[in-house]
Every structure is written in C-alpha cells, then in structure tokens.
Structure 1
Amino acid sequence: MSYKQDKSAAINKLQNYIDSPEKQEALYRRTLVIVVLSQIFGGAGLAAGITVGALLAQDMLGTDSFSGVPTALFTLGSAGAALLVGRLSQRFGRGSGLAAGFLAGGIGAIGVVVSAITNNILLLFVSLLIYGSGGATNLQARYAGTDLASPKQRATAISIAMVSTTFGAVAGPNLVDVMGRFATKIGVPALSGPFILAAATYILAGLVLLVLMRPDPLIVAKAIADEKRKNKNILSESNTNTLTFNKRGIIAAATLMVLTQLVMVAIMTMTPVHMGEHGHGLREVGMIIGFHVGAMYLPSLLTGILVDKIGRTFMAIAAGVTLLSAGILAAMAPGESIILLTLALILLGLGWNFGLISGTAMLVDSTNHTNRAKMQGTVDVMVALSGASGGLLSGVIVANSSYATLSIAGGILSLLLIPVLIWSSTMKIKVHA
C-alpha cells in the first residue's frame, strides 16, 4: 500500500469516529482500560525504584552524605521529561508521547542495574536522571483519559488513572525483598533487584500504550474539534475572548497544583524526621506514611465524581481548607501522639488529592486541542519543581525554626489558592470540548 493510500485510509478511519458519537464513547472507554493497565505497571516501576534508590547510592558511594542525590536526580529528570512528553504527545499523539516516556524510564532503570554491576557512579547518576522519565510519564498518563471525555466526565477519568497507580505503587515496594533475592541469584547486587522490576514494568507500560492505544484519543479529539470549528465557522473575535479566559484558567489550575504539591511534600518530608526526634521507629513512620499515601490516591474515584458534580472551584477551595487543617493539626499534635500525626498526614494526602484532581480538570477545561498536551507538560514541570523545592525548603525551615512552624506556614500558604480562584472566575467560564 502506498503512502497516499495509507494517509487516505487513516483519514477515513478518523472520519468514522468524527461521524459517530457511539464510536467516540467506545474509544473513550477503551482508552480508560489501556490507561489503567499502563498505570498499574507504571506505578510498580515508580515505587520499586524509589524505595531503594538512596540505599543503592549509599552502598556504592560508601557514605550517606549523597544519599539524597537519587531523589534530586529523579525529580530533575521528571521535570525535563514532563516537558518532552507533553510536546511529543501534542505532535504525535498521546500514546506515542507516553510510550516514549515509559520506555525511557525503563532504559534508565536498566542503566541503574548496569551501574550497580560495574560500580560506576557516573553511570548511576545519569541513569537515575533518565529513570525519572517514568515518574513524569506516570503522572501525565492521567490526562490521556480526558481527551475524549465530556466536560462532566473529565475529573472522573483523571481519578480512574490515579486509583490505578495505587495498585502498582503498593505492589512495587512489597516486591523489593523478592527482587533483591532474585538479583542475588543471578549474580547482581541485591539493591539493583527493584530496578530490574522497574525496567520490566516501565517497558511493559510503554508497549501497552504503543501497541494498544490506536487510534490515538488525542488525535481523534483534535479531528473532532477541527470538524466542529469548521462547521460552526467560529468568528475570530470570539476566539480571542476564549484565549483571554484560558490564560486565567491555566494560571489558576497551575497555581492550585503547584501550591498543593509544595505544601504536601514539605510537611510530608519532615514528618519522619519529627517522629524520629520523639522516639518513634521505622515501623511507626512506615505506618503513617502508608496512611498518607493511601489518602493521596484511594479517595480519587469519589473525588473525581465530586469535582464533576459539585464543581472544580468548590473542590479546589476544599483542597486549601483541608491542607490548612492538616497543617494546624500537625503543628498542634504532640510529637508522641501517633493517632494525631496519622490524622494530620491523612488530611495532608486528602488535600493534595482534591487539589491535583480539581486542578487537572481545570487545566483540561482551560485548554483546547491546539495546546492541551503541550500545556499539560509545562504545568507538570512546575509541579515537579515545586515538589523538589518543598522538600529542600522544609529542611531549612525546620533547622532554623521547628516542625510546627513549617506545618502552620504550609497550611497558611495553601489559602493563597482562594484569591487566585476568585480572580480566575471573574471572567465567564467557557469549558472546551
């Protein structure tokens, strides 16, 4: 078949979806299934590697002075990959962009294993940077389900992707010991075992997207939007007004996700340190962080429904109030009280969940097919960098003041969401299809 015939067949296939709402709905549901499958694999790859990254660096370097380097490199790699995945998705489709990110993460994980075998520190650091691509892609996959979703389905689609990540994220750390024994059996360092799992799961996630996500939902959504624009013959003046509103909506969505990420990471990072100073062991720390991570992801389905039914702004404000409550409770809780600290970390995770899902839905609403994936990648870069900043600044604040000061400051900072949301809503909202 010639190139012209291939192109003609592709156009005809797209036209079939443009002309059939039933086919659009079927593709939307199929896309969600593919996203769920890829997120389960991706979550396992993310959690397995992060669990032992610092330990591997400590073992290879012979000191714990640089044990924080893996997290820093992972975050930096995630930020760069978020930008690239967004641009690749915008140009070539959601499946191609996400597959590239996951496959790069898998290659990075393989590099980590090779660096452990050869005891090559430089290769370890470069590989960890590339490995960060998987984390960024895992987060960006939440957008894929929204491409063909109606405005009233978008937050629910986002939440389905986030819940799916939980299954892999829970399984990954629990397989660390198993993979360590497997690594030993095949003659490689035990700490590289989880990265063998990460390589396999990231590559599987990439292949699932590359092979199964056809036709691509973003490409179909672009074709549908172009057809609607052509039929309605939208006036350029109305387009200009829409773009003005979009800028406010994008700023509000980005501010919401950046602030919730900053506050959550800052308080979460220093809680284990705070607990250690009050005599709590790893068992108690692990339990509290487990509850926190559960609160970050498990309520997602309910949150998505609430965001779609009650509204983005209401749930965004709820995110700020919940984070404030978490900060106050964390500050006031006696260091010896496991129950109150657990409740504070649950509220912290829940506030993050409200903020990320409502912010993601707002961002989708405020963009159109010409800039959606690209803008999503750009905003996720800011989210990744805000998390890194929160982790770094939290230590400085606690060192010069206290955990209580950090918690109160984080809670108050989250209230900045409210004036931004009020400002963004001063213009009439127009939701993009």
Structure 2
Amino acid sequence: MTTTGRPTIDTAVLQRRIVGVLVVAQVLGGVGVATGIALASLSAADLSGSDVVGGAALTAMVVGTALAALPVSRLAARSGRRPALVLGYGAGAVGAAGAVGALAIGSWPLLLAALVPFGAASAAGLAARFAATDLAEPGARARALAVVVWAVTVGAVAGPNLAGPMQTVAEAIGMEPRTGPFLLATVAFAVAALVVGAGLRPDPLLLAREREAAAAPATAPAVPARSAWAAAREHPAALLAIGAIAVSHLLMVGLMSLTPVHMDHGGASVSVVGLVISLHVAGMYVLSPVFGALADRWGRRPVLAVGAALLVAAGLVAGPAAPTDHGSLTVGLIALGLGWSAALVAGSALLTDAVPLADRPRVQGLSDVAMNVAGAVGGVLAGVLVAVAGYGVLGTSVAVVAVALLATVLLGAGRGARGGSRPGR
C-alpha cells in the first residue's frame, strides 16, 4: 500500500491506460467537432444569406470553447480531470442537440446560440492533452500529449466526410437532411463523456498530487492558492507558450473559417469543401506525434519556430488562390494545420514544464481561454476583412502576423539556448 492508502500502481501501465482512454474520447470528440467546423459556417450563411453570419458561426463555437475552458480548468483543479472532461463533452452534446433543433426550424440565431455550448466539447478535447501529461516523465510529456492530440485525426477526418451520408440518414428517418451531421455530433459527444467517466480511474491529476505530496519533505510549506495569471507571470517561458499558442490559434481560425465560404463562391460542392477541410484537420493532428518527439528531443522553442514558419507558408499559398483553385487552397490549409499542430504541441509542453504541479490546471485553463478568445477574435476579424477587402488580404495578413510570431520565438529560443534544460528550452 502507498502512504495515501491506494494500492501500489505501476505508473507506466497506468499512464498507457489513461492515454488509451483519452485516445478513444478524442476520436469520438473529433467526429463531432470536425463536423461542426466543416458545416457550421455554411449552415449559418445559408440560413441567413450573410457571409458575416457564416463567419460568426465558427466564432460562436470558439467563444463557447473559451467560456467553457475556465470552468473546466477550475473543476479539474478542485476535483480532477475526469469530472472536468465529462462536463465539457456533456455540454457539447447539449449544444449539438440544440443545433439539430435550430436547423430543423431554420433559425440561424438559434443555431449561433447552440454552437456556444457545442464549443465546450473542444474545451474538453484541449484539456485532455494536459491530462496525458500528469503522470508522464518530464522528458516524455510532449510525446504523451501529442498522442492524445493525434487521436483526433481519425474522428476529424471521418466527421466531415460523414456529413453527406448523415444527411441521407436524417432524411430517411423524416428529419430535415441538414440536421444529420449535428445529430451525429450529439451522439459522439455523449459517448465520449461516458468513456471518460467510466475509464479515467484513478484520476491522473489527483494521483500525481498525492504522489508529489507523499514525496515532499514533511516540513515543506504548503503552497498557497493563487490566480492563474499570478502563477503564469512568474515564469517567462509560460508567458511565451501562452502567447504562441494563442496567436497560432487566431491565425488558424481566421484563415480556416472563411475558406469554405471562399470556395462556395466558386461553386464548390459540400463534398469538395468537406474533403479540403478534412485534409486541413488531418494536418492539425496527424503529425502531432512527430512534433512531440521533436519537442522532447530538440526542445520546445525550436518546434514552436517550425510551427510559425508553416503558418507563414499557409498565408502565402492560400491567400492568392482563386475560389476554384482547390489545389492551392488544399496545400495552404494543410500547411495551416501543420503549423497549428507544431505550435500547440510544443507550446503545451513548454507551458507544462514551466509551471509547478499545484498551479498547472489553472494556468493551463488560462492558456486555453486565451487561445480561444484569440480564435474568436480571429474569426470575427477574418469575416470582416474578407467582406471589406477579400480573401487574398486575409491570407497576406496571416503571413505577416506569423512572421512576427516567428521572430519572437527565435529571439526566445536564442535566450533559452544559453540557459535551461532541454525539456523546457
């Protein structure tokens, strides 16, 4: 028995099981989230007749993710990862069911409202990557979280491509055809909540705390509770990580959210748009284990720089592409997804390294809030920018901001190379 009263548990075996549970939940969550990403903008634009409203649909999802990140992180800090993830996926299921109702009656305001709780499933997916690091060794944290990020690939690729068949299923059972994909998302989120609730035992964060407390000297002073910002600002590496993740997400959401609308202006079918978005989402996740391994081997900041460079390339390739140039748009969006992936994996590992265990859930939640607020801003700005100046200006703007991010990360990498260990470098 341990000093906490639990039977002795092999950490490596437990870590593999925890990651396995998170992988299953991420596959299911990926189906629902990717379906929403692919079709929310088109559905809202179709119902309202406005491209600005179309851009606002994805923004509503991102706002929902940002709003959910704080209660999810607070619940994790208080009660552990398991109830926090159940809350996120459960709220996402409620939002997806609301979207089904909105599409059934043809109400775009109700659709936008439903997409806010829908976004909570994304908050759960983001929080799941941090759950994978709670019991991981410091030199393997990036790989652990990257595997969980990678798991979204299966669902993310399948989700948009199931949109057409699910429309057929919905029509066959007497429902409005366009409700079908969101009906699929409802089921996927609900099952993900059940998987996490049943399988994430013991809770990795609570167990990590118990082990840290047992290993600490009996005379060690208790760490007082403090705000996420107070904890983050003590660590420059944490601030760099939070900023890099937020800016990368802003650029990704901005360019990605308006690409389906841009393609629709060229007469692209739902299947073609779904394929392009599927490849983009695959880029977001499929190489995350590679970025994780590189971040553990080279250090976090060099991989952040790779991500920023890929975002520059995405803006330069996709921006000038005509609505009918599906090849260039596909290449640009794949680069966009890869850049986001590298930044997310390396930035998340850097953040986890930089902050003590007692403060991690709150600071990780702060990072996710900043990330999704930035994404919401990116979606709104992108919609307005395209309406005023066109898609090409949006692409150029993405490249310019990404260059500034790259310069900031390279300056930080130079300082980090002169001091600090590899995992946090």
The answer to whether the superposition gives a TM-score over 0.5 is: yes
* Matched AA of 1:182: V
Match of 1:81 in 2: 68
Match of 1:312 in 2: 300
Q: Give the CA deviation at 1:349.
A: 2.2
Q: Give the CA deviation at 1:95.
A: 0.9
Q: Is this contact kept in 2: 1:248–1:424, CA < 8 A?
A: no
Q: Distance in 2 between matches of 1:127 and 1:281?
A: 27
- Residue among 375, 380, 402 paired with 1:411: 402
Match of 1:177 in 2: 164
* Matched AA of 1:148: L
* Matched AA of 1:356: L
- Residue among 393, 396, 403 paired with 2:381: 393
Secondary structure of 2:139's partner? coil
> Are residues 1:227 and 2:214 paired?
yes
> Are residues 1:187 and 2:178 paired?
no
> Are residues 1:32 and 2:19 paired?
yes
Name the CA shift for 1:271/1:131 in 2 (closer, same or farther; >3 Å): closer
Match of 1:5 in 2: none
Between 71-80 and 339-348, report the one with greater CA deviation: 339-348
Match of 1:239 in 2: none
Q: Distance in 2 between matches of 1:319 and 1:374?
A: 25
Per-residue CA deviation, residues 254-291 of structure 1 (Å, 9 max, x unaligned), is: 011112222333343455566677x6845766554443
Q: Provide the alpha-carbon RMSD of the alignment.
A: 3.4
Q: Give the CA deviation at 1:335.
A: 8.5
Match of 1:160 in 2: 147
Q: Distance in 2 between matches of 1:281 and 1:312?
A: 39
Q: Give the CA deviation at 1:210.
A: 0.8
> Are residues 1:214 and 2:209 paired?
no
Q: Distance in 2 between matches of 1:194 and 1:290?
A: 14
Name the CA shift for 1:261/1:124 in 2 (closer, same or farther; >3 Å): closer
* Matched AA of 1:310: W
Q: Distance in 1 between matches of 2:182 and 2:320?
A: 40
Match of 1:240 in 2: none
> Are residues 1:301 and 2:301 paired?
no
Match of 2:227 in 1: none
Name the CA shift for 1:338/1:209 in 2 (closer, same or farther; >3 Å): closer
Name the CA shift for 1:37/1:246 in 2 (closer, same or farther; >3 Å): farther
Q: Give the CA deviation at 1:77.
A: 0.9
Per-residue CA deviation, residues 33-88 of structure 1 (Å, 9 max, x unaligned), is: 00001001111111223433345445655776633343222111111001111111
Q: Distance in 2 between matches of 1:298 and 1:231?
A: 45
Match of 2:5 in 1: 12
Q: Distance in 1 between matches of 2:29 and 2:321?
A: 36
Name the CA shift for 1:430/1:324 in 2 (closer, same or farther; >3 Å): closer
Q: Is this contact kept in 2: 1:245–1:429, CA < 8 A?
A: no
* Matched AA of 1:222: R
Name the CA shift for 1:254/1:86 in 2 (closer, same or farther; >3 Å): same
Q: Is this contact kept in 1: 2:32–2:188, CA < 8 A?
A: yes
Q: Distance in 2 between matches of 1:252 and 1:73?
A: 27
* Matched AA of 1:207: L
Name the CA shift for 1:245/1:121 in 2 (closer, same or farther; >3 Å): closer
Name the CA shift for 1:344/1:191 in 2 (closer, same or farther; >3 Å): closer
* Matched AA of 2:82: G
Per-residue CA deviation, residues 185-226 of structure 1 (Å, 9 max, x unaligned), is: 333222222222111111110111111111101100111111
TM-score (norm 1): 0.83
Q: Distance in 1 between matches of 2:234 and 2:339?
A: 25
Q: Is this contact kept in 1: 2:55–2:258, CA < 8 A?
A: no
Between 320-329 and 257-266, report the one with greater CA deviation: 320-329
Name the CA shift for 1:26/1:248 in 2 (closer, same or farther; >3 Å): same
Q: Distance in 2 between matches of 1:289 and 1:245?
A: 36
Match of 1:114 in 2: 101
TM-score (norm 2): 0.85
- Residue among 121, 142, 148 paired with 2:129: 142
Q: Give the CA deviation at 1:380.
A: 0.6
Name the CA shift for 1:215/1:183 in 2 (closer, same or farther; >3 Å): same
Match of 1:68 in 2: 55
* Matched AA of 1:412: V
Match of 1:350 in 2: 338
Name the CA shift for 1:341/1:317 in 2 (closer, same or farther; >3 Å): same
Q: Give the CA deviation at 1:296.
A: 1.7
Q: Distance in 1 between matches of 2:332 and 2:122?
A: 26
Unmatched 5+ stretches in structure 2: 224-230
Q: Distance in 2 between matches of 1:29 and 1:250?
A: 27
Q: Give the CA deviation at 1:310.
A: 1.5
* Matched AA of 1:316: L
Q: Distance in 1 between matches of 2:159 and 2:409?
A: 34
Q: Is this contact kept in 1: 2:250–2:378, CA < 8 A?
A: yes
Q: Is this contact kept in 1: 2:59–2:380, CA < 8 A?
A: no
- Residue among 29, 44, 47 paired with 2:31: 44
Q: Is this contact kept in 1: 2:312–2:400, CA < 8 A?
A: no
* Matched AA of 2:77: Q
* Matched AA of 1:129: V
Name the CA shift for 1:101/1:57 in 2 (closer, same or farther; >3 Å): same
